[in-house]
Every structure is written in structure tokens, then in C-alpha cells.
Amino acid sequence: MNATTAFDAAALQEAAKRNLWLHFTRHSGFSRADIPMIVRGEGQYVFDQHGKRYLDGLAGLFVSQIGHGRTDVAEAGARQAGELAYFPLWSYAHPRAVELAERLASYSPGDLNRVFFTTSGSEAVESAWKLAKQYFRLTGQPSRYKVLSRYIAYHGTSHGALAITGLPDIKIPFEPLPPGGVRVPNTNFYRAPEFVADDVTAFGLWAADEIERAIVREGPESVAAVYLEPVQNSGGCFPPPPGYFQRVREICDKYGVLMVSDEVICAFGRLGYIFGCERYGYTPDIITFAKGVTSGYSPLGGMMVSDRVMEPYLKDENTFLHGVTFAGHPVSCAVALANLEVFEKEDLLGNVRANEAAFRSTLEKLHDLPIVGDVRGDGYFYGIEMVKDKATRQTFDDDESERLLRGFLSHALFDAGLICRADDRGDPVIQLSPPLTCTQEHFDEIEQILRSVLTEAWSHI
Ligand SMILES: Cc1ncc(COP(=O)(O)O)c(C=O)c1O
């Protein structure tokens, strides 16, 4: 059938337990249970080593926009490996990187015409910080190095990206981190402060103005950049209130701070547009991207940079003193181009725009369950916040959260055939981000599985 069936399932488990180190995973749990082993994918579904099928409600990890098993995209990578498997972008170019850069520039807003490739999202986020710091040195403002980002926002795991990340628990073991990370409020309207809790626009302006207050408090001459996702993932999909990004843009312009739109999740159709900033009508100075640019058929990340920020780097002997071996890998660039062809030929952006309201209203049916406090998001990107008491919005304490998410929900959803994420890095949420090819039948399947598992979860509290 396929190559993996040649493996002995038990031997594979044993080797995985002995030799493989999983990311962000408690290995102790696998002394009693098997490691979930996904061996194959097809469209919106993946299959485990026993042949059981799962709806991929998270697109792997916010990655598989076009779905699994696309041999046309895989073949584009294979062809490129035969023609030129590798050459660096260190003082050389190769055709696929050029073509991809040109294509990405044709999609980006404003004058974000320059593409610096990386291999991952963390590298893109970290590269943007270094780019901003050096930009300010080149333009006579060497004291600007600080970066603002929002509470509970995830921006990656390398030391620099982790310093920008706003999740205290995943930072503590690695302190001290590079200095300069400053936190500002996120846009979780469900948990808005009381004085703006009944007016989403006022809430948004307050949250944006907190960015101004933080810049002033820190000293504008020390602040390099503000990092914001179009829809913040961590915490459970916080869309921007109306006017939020416009106000942030004004603040950045007023204080000469660079605006970085971290679109590692939100770009490439997740919100119905190639770049998420387009959906909300703002033009940042830098966009960071990764994940969906290749739909995971090969790794790639990067940043789109405005002509204005590029300008000092074009002068004299100025050089961005930064690079990584595999950035803009020819195979990944070929795959990204083939991926974007699928977007166009199959009108995936149109599919998201046409179906997102149906996805939302299907998930909103879950509001009749006592545990469902809030359903929020945009495009094909939703978070469902779970609460102990709907009327008061009371959340779960740490023990309850542990029992509910780790003790029950994560396994129960997987056992029921749905891959999604039960996350308690903020208040407990379920995250959904399925392939962009999904339609009503998949939304119904997601809703039905969530309904039965969340109903049972209530009895475990
Ligand atoms: C918004 C955001 N930025 C950065 C990253 C880091 O990307 P990577 O895991 O590719 O390093 C992620 C990963 O999920 C992300 O969601």
C-alpha cells in the first residue's frame, strides 16, 4: 500500500520511545501510552499506523493549507532537487528564489517588495529583530533595540524570538533571555477590562493606546519594533477590533517604530487573503511568514521588507550581517511556487471567503453546551474558549485545566478522529485551523466530534 506499512508497528513505537525527542511534549506520558504515529495524508485527512483516519482540524500545525498528499506539489520539489538541489543565497541567487520573491512581492501591500528568506518562523521573527536593530544603527538611531509584543502571544522559540514571545511559562527555564522584550495588552475582547467591555471599538483603541503608553514609558528612542499577529493565535484566536491596526500604524509612525506583522500563521489564505494585514487594511513595515508558504511540503520562512527599510542596506558597504545556510532552499522555493499555483488554480482564497461564515455558524451551534464560553476568530481560524461558568465567564483553575485538557480532552478528541489543539497557555481553548480546502461536510464533522467530546468533558469537571 505505502512505504510505512512495511514497518512493524510495534518496532516503530519502541524506536520512537527510545530514540525520538518530541517537541513541547511530556515524554513521561508515553510510559503507559503509545505515541500517536501519523503515517500518511490525503486531502483534509491523515491516517495513523493502524489505518485509522483523522480530520486534520489544525492543518498539521497551521501549515497544510492545500491539504495532504498533493503529488503535483511534491513532484515540483523532486524536479528541483534533480536540477539544482542546493545553492546558498549568500551572494548568489537561484531562479526559484528570485521567482518566488517576485511573486510574493506581487501579493504584498504597499512597498513591501524585498524578501529575505529563512527556514522557519522563529528565524523570520528573530531576523526581523536583527534587521530592525541594524536598520536603526544605519540610520543614526543606535539606541533603538526594544521590541513590544502582546501578552500570551507566541512568536517562536529561539532565544530572540522567545524574548518576543509573551508566554511566561515557556520562557522561565531559559532566562536570562536577550533584553528588550516589552509586553502590551492583547485584543481578547471576551476578557476586556470592565470600562471597555461593552464597546469593541473603544476596547481596541484602548489596547492600541496601551502600545503608545508603553513606547513613551520605555523611551521612544529605545524602541525598535512592535510585533503583532493579524489574529493572535495563542490564547485562542483574538481578532483585531475595528480601527485597532490603523491606530497602531499611527502610533508607530508618530514614534518612528517599525511595525512587524507576524503572519507565520495568518498568511497564505488562513484569513482568506495571501497576507492577513490585507484583510484588516493596514500596511506594516515587515511581514514575517513561514508555514503555509509551502503548505509543509518543504520548510521555508522569510520576511517581506519595505523599500524604505531596505534603503539604507542598499548604500555603500552596508550589509545585513545575517544569514543561514538553508534559507531560500531551492527545493522549498520550487514547492512554494507550486503551492501558490494550487492557491490560484483552485481559488483557495475564494473558498475561504465563501465558506468562513458557514464555518463560524457551524461552530457557534456549540454555544448550547455549558462549557462553551466564546467562539472567536476569522477566516479558517477559530478558537473556542471553555469556561466553568458561562454567566460569570469563570475559567478553570490550574488543576481543573490539567485534568480537563491533558487528562481528558486532548486524548478524547484524537480518539474521536479529530486533530485540533486543546491549549491552556492562556485560558483553556480549542484551536481550529483546518486545510483551506474544507467545506461544510468537514465543518459538520468537526462540530459533531466537538459536541460529543465537550459534552463528556463536562462530566469530568
Ligand atoms: C505567530 C508565530 N510566529 C512564529 C512562530 C515560530 O515558527 P516556527 O515554529 O516555524 O519557528 C510561530 C509558530 O507557530 C507562530 O505561530
Query: C-alpha distances in angstroms, 380 versus 174, 253, 402, 410, 434?
Result: 34, 31, 27, 21, 7
Burial 338-377 (b: 16+ CB within 10 A, else e): bbbebbeeeebbebbbebbeebbebbebbeebebbbbbbb
Tell me the mean pLDDT in the region 397-424. 91
Do β-strands 258-262 and 286-289 pair in parallel, antiparallel, or remain unpaired?
Answer: parallel
How far is Cα 120 from Cα 453, in angstroms, rounded to an integer?
Answer: 34
Q: What is the pLDDT of residues 163-172, one digit of tens each?
A: 999 999 999 9
pTM of the model: 0.97
Mean pLDDT, rounded, of the chain: 96
Tell me the mean pLDDT in the region 408-426. 93
The rounded percent of the chain whose pLDDT value lies above 70 is 98
- Determine whether the shortest distance from the Cβ of 264 to ligand 1 is under 6 A: yes
Q: What is the DSSP letter of 43?
A: B
Do β-strands 146-150 and 114-118 pair in parallel, antiparallel, or remain unpaired?
Answer: unpaired
The number of residues in the chain equals 461
How far is Cα 244 from Cα 203, in angstroms, rounded to an integer?
Answer: 9
Task: Tell how far the Cα of 300 is from the centroid of ligand 1, in angstroms.
Answer: 12
Which atom, in ligand 1's list, is nearest to the CA of 120? 10
Tell me the mean pLDDT in the region 58-85. 98
- Determine whether the shortest distance from the Cβ of 262 to ligand 1 is under 6 A: yes
How far is Cα 331 from Cα 337, in angstroms, rounded to an integer?
Answer: 10
Which atom, in ligand 1's list, is nearest to the CA of 299? 10
Tell me the mean pLDDT in the region 306-319. 97
Per the CB < 8 A criterion, the answer to whether 38 and 48 are in contact is yes
How far is Cα 306 from Cα 289, in angstroms, rounded to an integer?
Answer: 14
Give the H/E segment covering residue 418.
strand 418-419
Give the H/E segment covering residue 105.
helix 95-107
- Determine whether the shortest distance from the Cβ of 446 to ligand 1 is under 6 A: no
- Determine whether the shortest distance from the Cβ of 121 to ligand 1 is under 6 A: yes
Task: Tell how far the Cα of 61 is from the centroid of ligand 1, in angstroms.
Answer: 9
Chain CA centroid to CA 322, Å? 23
Residue 96 has pLDDT above 70, yes or no: yes
Task: Tell how far the Cα of 386 is from the centroid of ligand 1, in angstroms.
Answer: 24
Confidence of residue 6 (pLDDT cuts 50, 70, 90): low
Instruction: For residue 219, give the C-alpha cell.
Output: 523611551
Task: Tell how far the Cα of 93 is from the centroid of ligand 1, in angstroms.
Answer: 26
Question: What is the pLDDT at residue 21?
Answer: 98
Which atom, in ligand 1's list, is nearest to the CA of 161? 4
- Determine whether the shortest distance from the Cβ of 438 to ligand 1 is under 6 A: no
- Determine whether the shortest distance from the Cβ of 189 to ligand 1 is under 6 A: no
Strand ranges of the sheet holding 181-184, from the earlier edge strand across to the other edge? 114-118, 301-305, 286-289, 258-262, 223-228, 146-150, 181-184
Amino acid in position 151:
Y
Residue 313 has pLDDT above 90, yes or no: yes
Confidence of residue 425 (pLDDT cuts 50, 70, 90): confident
- Determine whether the shortest distance from the Cβ of 120 to ligand 1 is under 6 A: yes
Q: Kindly report the three-state secondary structure assignment for every residue of 147-207.
A: EEEECCCCCCCCHHHHHHCCCHHHCHHHCCCCCCEEEECCCCHHHCCHHHCCCHHHHHHHH
Which atom, in ligand 1's list, is nearest to the CA of 291? 10
Confidence of residue 297 (pLDDT cuts 50, 70, 90): very high
Question: What is the pLDDT at residue 404?
Answer: 86
Residue 3 has pLDDT above 60, yes or no: no
Q: Which phi and psi (to 5°) does residue 262 adopt?
A: -85, 100
- Determine whether the shortest distance from the Cβ of 233 to ligand 1 is under 6 A: yes
